[in-house]
Structure 1
Amino acid sequence: MAVNPADLSAALVTTPVAPADWLVVLPPAWCILSGAVLLMLRKSLHLQGWLAVPALAVLVLLDALLLAHVAQNGPVTMVMGRWLPPFGIAFTADLTGALFALAGAVVALAGGVHALGDIDGSGRRYGFYPFLLLLMAGVSGAFLTGDVFNLYVWFEVLLISSFGLIVLGSEPRQIDGAVKYAFLNLVATTLFLIATGYLYGLFGTLNMADIAVKAAENRAGLPLMTLAALYLLAFGMKAAAFPVNFWLPASYHTPRVVVSALFAGLLTKVGIYALLRTLVMLFPVEREELSFVIALAGAATMVLGALGALGQSDIRRMLGYVVVSGIGTMLAGLSLGSPGGVGGAIFYALHSMVVMTALYMAAGLAGRLAGTFDLNRLGGLHGRSAPFSALSLVLFFAVSGLPPFSGFWPKVMVAKAAMDIGAWWLTATVLLTGFLTTIALGRVFALAYWRPAEGALPDEAIPASALVPLAALAALTVAFGLFPDALLATIQHAAQGLADPRAYIGSVFPEGG
């Protein structure tokens, strides 16, 4: 008796996967594989850095190829196990996710190179480089997943690795910082999980494209405002937004400087990315209703961060407040919801990933050259190294939003978008924050760099492994400040893709189902 073959097309993806589409899953997979190899070679301490840095360079290449592929062909989706979405777990890369993933990989590579001279044998023994690769697996997965629950999973992966990194060295101040960092992030994670369970109960799916379709079709009668508020609170805590921002400046100065640099560049930006993805793409109507609340939180975050930076004498603590202030600018762009506002938030996030990582590296080198992080005792750094002083000044200008550096353009975008809707107070807050940040960092340069040292400085030199990534990141801020056209065009397309996710949905459901 003849047996008819089952029609798998009703349940499974039967068409072969294009080779280029594998790029959407390769970044997190590569990080997990590389981290596992380093873990197996954990006794070969001398090999850890020299294997990790090429692995991170490959990650940059993979993300660059993914961005080029998405820019040319539109959003790309791959579903695990070949199950048709929304039942199969989807990885979906659009321009926003690919941009964030590439910027994160560049930051991680710079951190990996810097760590060659900053992480000693004890740090390698306790797993700095495997933790770094695991962190990047979580960061890459969060930027590229198309499933809300798996966004939660990747958050957990990066949190586990960040706990390992923040206590590296087991000093009392690191344990104290880790407790503050862990408590607030665990509260935020719990809220995230509660919101995600509620989301599944309402829609019966956690696929982002499916949720976007169903939310648009069945908005009436569903408590979507509750969902949006829960996600705003959960991701706002992870991004260190007011009024739940106090954990960041209380913890980011405690670990090794390269760890602080990676945290400042990566972790809060994953929270901002999650806010953009959920509030702009999934719940745009609710975001509009919450816009004034988000704008107030953004303004308070900006101003309090800048004032906190002015009041600090420890440059590492000061930079923690600068990170917080930048989060406020991104929230301001999110609150506006327009292409200019959302584009400004994306641009500022990418800029902050690069600049804040570099600033923490510069702070570490300043402390190494002067033997202290206290501004009351710092001095003479310009005499010790004029090139290092010039790089630091570039970064100070960039994070203050001064032209012609990368921080200027996103602030202009957010300020203009606010003026376009008559929110002059928000524009004034952005400008005031830039002015206060300029004063805070100008004070650092005047005291730590121009002021003569009071005594003999330690006999320390800047290793090439520290100066090269610092110079590379500073060069990026200059390049994107002077030649922003290509990046601006890409970011505008990314913002439009979040606001109008038809291409994103079409990549997940190519038949419109």
Structure 2
Amino acid sequence: MQFDVVNFVPLAVLIPFFGAAFAFAFYRNQATQKAITIGALIITVVLEIVLLSEVWHGGTHAVQLAGWPAPFGISMVIDRFAALMLVVSSIITLAVLLYAVGQGAAEEKNDSGPVSIFYPTFLILVAGVSNAFLAGDLFNLYVGFEIFLTASYVLLTLGGGEARIRAGVTYVVVSILSSMLFLITIGLMYAATGTVNLADLALKITELDHGTQLMLHVMLLVAFGIKAAVFPLAFWLPDSYPTAPAPVTAVFAGLLTKVGIYAMIRTETLLFPGERINTVLMVVAALTMIVGILGALAQSDIKRMLSFTLISHIGYLVFGLALSSVIGMAATIYYVAHHITIQTTLFLVTGLIERRAGTSNVDKLGGLARISPVLAILFFLPAMNLAGIPPFSGFVGKLGMMQGGIAENTWITWTLVFASVLTSLLTLLAVARIWARGFWRKAEDVEKPERILIQKSLAHARAANKRLLPAAMVAPTALLVAMSLAFTVFAGPLMNFSRAAAQDMYERTPYLEAVLGEDRVDGVRDELVEFTTGYVIDLDTDDDGAAEFAPVRTSLQPDMETDDRGFTRVEIDEQADPAEGGDQ
């Protein structure tokens, strides 16, 4: 029997899931729980890196659980996009866990009862996120959502407190409404097509009338939009996330909203390709960017400010999705991995600020750069990255999206380019205000400083850093800062990888063939041509991804012609009958 590492894809879900059960068995021994949880996450990271290396060159793979063929059984599908999300999310969760251990957030004193549940709950959350990334059908995607949302309810309210309970109730109610809408949509899709398998749906949903398709399309977008916190569905986020402990807030802000974005990208490219509602998505993207960053500028608390910048930068991801071009999608894939890292890092740094200064309110902060140069560096680098200052990875991702918008050359894409630039400038203003007040000005200049900031001498202040900023908290944060810098240093290979991922997603055949088999896809290949129209493609595959647009080796568009720029836009004559040899 030939060994195939792809057969171990389900372990990305099973390792943290059974690790959680094993950790819970030692609920009276937190040291053992800690070791089990860290060990499970390390094994998961190693496994997912191996899977990423496999799909880097090998393309898309599907595993049919229990031997049932698709669409009858449960499919787990890993492609380049899913593998990248798995690796980034697992590294992030491992770093956050190490930070939580250092802070003592998982100790019994922070638990709400005699049974320690932080560690098993954290692993359940990781299992749910991984399941969502690998889900090959809508119902399994729903199950993944519910697994990590249930775990997030517990983590959000762990330790009690009126503010935390109130925020948890808001989060629970909104999440339940979103899940209900998602489940109703799944039921309607099954009633209309007889399947919930994503690959099978991609073929069968085209048989529905346009009105039904549009209704299902909008319902899915609204359900995922609530989870992703796009405007105007993001009202719940700024009041929910900041109340939790720093490590919990960090993993929520960095990761959970991106699962909603992942679901939007997956369903938009696989089930509803084309430009039917792209204008609506572009309007939503612009409003999400502008409203989010204006909300951030109005905040004095760093955690609330970061919550609003989180919303605004979700707008960038919707922008890239709405472009329906390979360069736009490649930039989106790159940017979502970048933003998971940056947003998580900034919330962890905010936890360090709060621990060192006693507050996260910028009006009461001052002198942090002088007191703790290390803390200043840990904030400055990801803050500039978030703002998109060259040459950081935030600039690389935003530039790719703006290139896609400029190439579209319509009034609304130019509006989005302008909104992107404006949002970046306002983000820079927001983080610069934190730097100027919290780090640059002297503590003596603060009107009502926290007592912990006022020390007899600089030597006394820096001596306190050893106690208030333990290495066990600083080291994981520094690891994530280094990871964010790696996105800059290796931007070229990562963008090439993202281009290949975007190519596969827009071509669709790699996913469909992996799940359904080549014979099934060959039978409908002609019908797939129509639904790959409108995508700007660079047919030069010999430039190693150096071209402005992603190289696409497309088997679905054999009749495409390149223009004088070397790019191709497929156009379909809607009056032509493919059966009669109409020009595709």
Band of TM-score, shorter chain: over 0.9
**1:502 and 1:59 mapped to 2: Cα distance?**
29
Structure 1 position 50, deviation (Å): 2.8
Mean Cα deviation higher: 176-185 or 262-271: 176-185
Conserved 8 A contact 1:306-1:321: yes
User: After superposition, what is the alpha-carbon deviation per residue over 1:37-78, rounded to whole angstroms, capped at 9, x for unaligned?
Assistant: 110011102222233122211111111111111122221111
Match of 2:519 in 1: 512
Conserved 8 A contact 1:23-1:65: no
Choose 1 or 2 for highest CA Rg: 2
Structure 1 position 510, deviation (Å): 2.4
Structure 2 residue corresponding to 1:138, chosen from 106, 128, 143: 128
SS at match of 1:251: helix
SS at match of 1:297: helix
Match of 2:482 in 1: 475
Match of 2:287 in 1: 300
Match of 1:9 in 2: none
Mean Cα deviation higher: 52-61 or 450-459: 450-459
Structure 1 segments of 4+ aligned residues over 4 angstroms from their partners:
219-222
SS at match of 1:512: helix
Structure 1 position 403, deviation (Å): 1.5
Match of 2:468 in 1: 461
CA RMSD of aligned residues (A): 1.4
**2:174 and 2:116 mapped to 1: Cα distance?**
25
> 5 Å matches for 1:24-35?
24-35=9-20
User: After superposition, what is the alpha-carbon deviation per residue over 1:465-506, rounded to whole angstroms, capped at 9, x for unaligned?
Assistant: 211111111112212113311110111111111111101111
Mean Cα deviation higher: 342-351 or 35-44: 342-351
> 5 Å matches for 1:418-437?
418-422=405-409, 423-437=413-427
Structure 1 residue corresponding to 2:319, chosen from 326, 332, 342: 332
Pairing 1:87–2:76 present: no
Pairing 1:43–2:16 present: no
**1:345 and 1:411 mapped to 2: Cα distance?**
8
Q: Which amino acid aligns with 2:242?
A: H
Conserved 8 A contact 2:23-2:37: yes
> 5 Å matches for 1:366-377?
366-377=353-364
**1:406 and 1:188 mapped to 2: Cα distance?**
32
Match of 1:78 in 2: 63
Distance 1:18 1:92, change over 3 A: farther
Conserved 8 A contact 2:331-2:495: no
Mean Cα deviation higher: 431-440 or 18-27: 18-27
Distance 1:376 1:222, change over 3 A: closer
**1:225 and 1:131 mapped to 2: Cα distance?**
38
SS at match of 2:239: coil
Mean Cα deviation higher: 50-59 or 109-118: 50-59
Match of 1:200 in 2: 190
Conserved 8 A contact 2:28-2:116: no
User: After superposition, what is the alpha-carbon deviation per residue over 1:445-484, rounded to whole angstroms, capped at 9, x for unaligned?
Assistant: 1111111114542644311121111111111221211331
SS at match of 2:306: helix
**2:10 and 2:17 mapped to 1: Cα distance?**
11
Match of 2:456 in 1: none
Match of 2:40 in 1: 55
Mean Cα deviation higher: 149-158 or 70-79: 70-79
Conserved 8 A contact 1:49-1:112: no
Structure 1 position 220, deviation (Å): 4.6
Structure 1 position 219, deviation (Å): 5.0
Pairing 1:238–2:245 present: no
Structure 2 residue corresponding to 1:487, chosen from 481, 485, 494: 494
Match of 1:259 in 2: 248
Conserved 8 A contact 1:403-1:481: no
Structure 1 position 18, deviation (Å): 4.5
Q: Which amino acid aligns with 1:225?
A: L
**2:39 and 2:126 mapped to 1: Cα distance?**
14
Distance 1:421 1:221, change over 3 A: closer
Pairing 1:270–2:259 present: yes
Pairing 1:387–2:382 present: no
**1:508 and 1:17 mapped to 2: Cα distance?**
20
SS at match of 1:250: helix
SS at match of 2:237: coil
Structure 2 residue corresponding to 1:450, chosen from 422, 440, 450: 440
Conserved 8 A contact 2:102-2:470: yes
**1:371 and 1:221 mapped to 2: Cα distance?**
57
SS at match of 1:158: helix
**2:135 and 2:54 mapped to 1: Cα distance?**
17
SS at match of 2:63: strand
Listed as ranges, the gaps of 5+ residues in structure 2 are 454-463, 521-584
Structure 1 position 394, deviation (Å): 0.2
**1:425 and 1:26 mapped to 2: Cα distance?**
44
Structure 1 residue corresponding to 2:508, chosen from 492, 496, 501: 501
**TM-score (normalizing by structure 1):** 0.94
**TM-score (normalizing by structure 2):** 0.83
Conserved 8 A contact 2:227-2:260: yes
User: After superposition, what is the alpha-carbon deviation per residue over 1:18-50, rounded to whole angstroms, capped at 9, x for unaligned?
Assistant: 431223211101010111111001110222223
**1:258 and 1:511 mapped to 2: Cα distance?**
45
Structure 1 position 302, deviation (Å): 0.6
SS at match of 1:223: helix
**2:150 and 2:362 mapped to 1: Cα distance?**
33
Match of 1:347 in 2: 334
> 5 Å matches for 1:393-412?
393-412=380-399
User: After superposition, what is the alpha-carbon deviation per residue over 1:150-174, rounded to whole angstroms, capped at 9, x for unaligned?
Assistant: 0001100011000000001111111
**1:486 and 1:295 mapped to 2: Cα distance?**
28
Distance 1:99 1:220, change over 3 A: same
Conserved 8 A contact 1:168-1:256: no
Mean Cα deviation higher: 242-251 or 54-63: 54-63
